A = this chain, B = another copy of it.
């Protein structure tokens, strides 16, 4: 049925080994031999059987990217970047959606949902610091996000606290004094929500603004709908505000919708800034200011770290934590630029590479 190396070898009048050599670009082959093999391949329409190669080499050329869901623009764009970065290096990406469910995230680690890939880039949302033990597995992992620190794996994250503080200070610098927060997770000590909220509080303190609990809007899932709801609640409560820091752009766009529905002018009455700098931010009305966490750099770094570890041969290197630079991009929603203009850089938080020594597997 399917044509194999054998068939090619026979047709070209060489051994199977020579065909293999040609296919794999082994350099020491007589030009004429290579030519003969090539045409035999053409004629027969031969294509390498990846399953056989994978079995033999113990490697698949596939990596898994596990994210909550692709409908969330941040993760869609992240996936885009990861796939592109992997592609450049000759690797292919298989995507698992966890729906931020504990069970599915556990499955990803246990391998029940990691069919035949050589490594995993994992952005957990349900698992937390208590689950570090689950990360001790026999394949390379790169962790994304801020839910799990200290696991035996490389980690690409962002400087949430510093960036959130900068966003808050940016609003304060516009003269705003009643800065609301949308997207808080009450009681959580870990994760993006906690860190960004901490940055917000630091920012308030540094600006000499009091902390008013009425200005904290809860939103469990960071979707547009929950952002709109949280904003609506706060407005319905009659809470006085003149600025909003939404913990991500989806929330911000939802909040924007609610503000508009209440007839509130942005940025005239209320200034608004989000977090993630997704593509949508540029095209909302008004265009949304945001924190650019360096998504592309995150993706490239994650792929790089993972492939490095997959290809590692000798003594395991210590695990690394990398924090790309983040930027505050000012647009219309904070009155930083006029309509139709590009956003402009308002400030930069420098990250860097931090190597955390851990006994690595």
CB within 8 Å of B: which residues of A? 47, 49-52, 54-55, 58, 60-62, 69-71, 73, 76-77, 79-80, 83-84, 87, 92-97, 111, 115-116, 224-225, 228, 232, 253-254, 256-258, 260-261, 279-280, 282-287, 339-340
Contact = CB atoms under 8 A, between A and B. Distances in A.
Contacts of A287: 257
A257 B339 CA distance: 9
Given A50-B115, A70-B79, A73-B76, A283 B260 contact: no
Contact of A80 (B69, B83, B256): B69
Contacts of A47: 111
Contacts of A80: 69-71, 97
Given A73-B76, A254-B283, 5 more contacts: A51-B60, A54-B54, A93-B94, A260-B285, A261-B340
Nearest to A283: B224
B116 A54 contact: yes
A225 B340 CA distance: 11
Contacts of A87: 97
Given A76-B73, A257-B287, A55 B51 contact: yes
A246 to B, nearest CB: 12
Given A111-B47, A283-B224, A76 B84 contact: no
5 contacts: A50-B115, A70-B76, A73-B73, A76-B79, A224-B283
Contact of A115 (B55, B92, B258, B284): B92
Contacts of A285: 256-257, 260, 284-285
5 smallest A-B Cβ distances: which pairs?
A76-B76, A50-B116, A51-B54, A51-B55, A224-B283
A116 B284 CA distance: 41
B339 A261 contact: yes
Contacts of A116: 50-51, 54, 60
Contacts of A280: 224, 253, 280
**Max chain B C-beta neighbours (<10 A), residue from A49, A58, A71, A253:** A71
Given A55-B55, A261-B340, A282-B224, A95 B76 contact: no
Given A54-B116, A94-B94, A71 B77 contact: yes
A124 B239 CA distance: 50
A69 to B, nearest CB: 6
A284 B225 CA distance: 11
A282 B284 CA distance: 12
A54 B49 CA distance: 10
A58 B87 CA distance: 25
A94 B62 contact: yes
A84 B61 contact: no
Contact of A79 (B50, B95, B111, B228): B95
